[in-house]
Chain A
Amino acid sequence: MSLLNIFNIAGSAMTAQSQKINVIASNLANMDSVIHKNGKFYPYVAKKVIFELDSSKNSKIGGVKISGIIDDTSPMNLVYDPNNPMANHKGYILTSNVNPITETVNNISAARSYQANIEVLKTAKFMISKTLTIIE
């Protein structure tokens, strides 16, 4: 039944969007974090979520799935902070490439998409319960 499929479609989109918000929260939280790897310190690299259409075979429609979480390729920020123990001989340190403005905007966008899918779910639920009333 087509109406029941809507639950799967909207549900998968909601899962994907909340995963995106999760990653955004992680990016904002780790803005000033440092990663210690192989005896060296690296600044935290922003992560990005990539969505993909989750369709059954030879169908153009379907839900959403996350095809992967990739590193943001934008360049690291160079900040002048000579008192920092990690600063190079010119007094600069590398900091994370997380852009708080971009993250905030993406967060709002993901939250709105989540809400849109809730509305879809509500409508589908209403239609199904309305359909069931004809047998009364």
Chain B
Amino acid sequence: MFSKINQIFDFHQKSLNLYAKRQEILASNIANADTPGYKSVDINFTNELNKIIKSNIKNKNITLKKTSSKHLNGKNNNFFSPEIISVVTNQKKPDGNTVNMDRERIEFLNNSLKYQSNLAFMKNEIKNIMRILQG
């Protein structure tokens, strides 16, 4: 039963992580709006989410060093590094900066609301489970 619950939350956890990562990238774009030569970056959310859902294989790159046979194996399926791509904008300042402030702020807000809606769905599911458990 708990593996089922785990499955429900797994997807939410992964998408929340991805939203948080994207939020960080957008924050970096806003922070560097005045930095000469900075290129506006973003991730392709659909592709990255698909990639995460498909790859249920544990990340092989992270292994814990074991000094005893009784040590547990490291488990890390939250670790992911999305592919960061440059955004094509028509905004080109003389110093080589390509950050379009309007676009970044709208996306920032948009991403934040999506994160919160995802959170609301997750909360609802927790509520449902609690209701069933309490009978």
Residues of chain A having any CB pair with chain B under 8 Å: 1-3, 5-6, 9-10, 12-13, 17, 50-53, 60-64, 109-110, 113, 116-117, 119-120, 123-124, 126-127, 130-131, 133-134
Q: Which residues of A contact B23 (CB under 8 A)?
A: 2-3, 6, 123-124, 127
Q: Which residues of B contact A127 (CB under 8 A)?
A: 20, 23, 112, 115-116
Q: How far is the CA of A9 from the CA of B20 in the complex (A)?
A: 14
Which listed residue (B35, B108, B109, B116) contacts A53, Cβ 8 A?
Answer: B35
Chain B interface SS verdict (over half): helix
Q: Is the CB of B123 within 8 A of A113?
A: no
A126 to nearest B CB, angstroms? 8
Residues of chain B having any CB pair with chain A under 8 Å: 16-17, 20-21, 23-25, 27-39, 41, 84, 101, 105, 108-109, 112, 115-116, 119, 122-123, 126
Q: Is the CB of A61 within 8 A of B28?
A: yes
Identify which of A53, A61, A62, A110 gathers the most chain B CB atoms within 10 Å of its CB: A61
Which listed residue (A3, A51, A110) contacts B35, Cβ 8 A?
Answer: A51
Known A124-B23, A130-B119; 20 more pairs at CB < 8 Å: A2-B24, A6-B24, A9-B24, A13-B32, A51-B36, A61-B25, A61-B28, A61-B84, A63-B32, A64-B31, A64-B32, A113-B33, A120-B27, A124-B27, A127-B20, A127-B112, A127-B115, A127-B116, A131-B16, A134-B123
Chain A interface SS verdict (over half): helix
Which listed residue (A60, A109, A134) contacts B119, Cβ 8 A?
Answer: A134
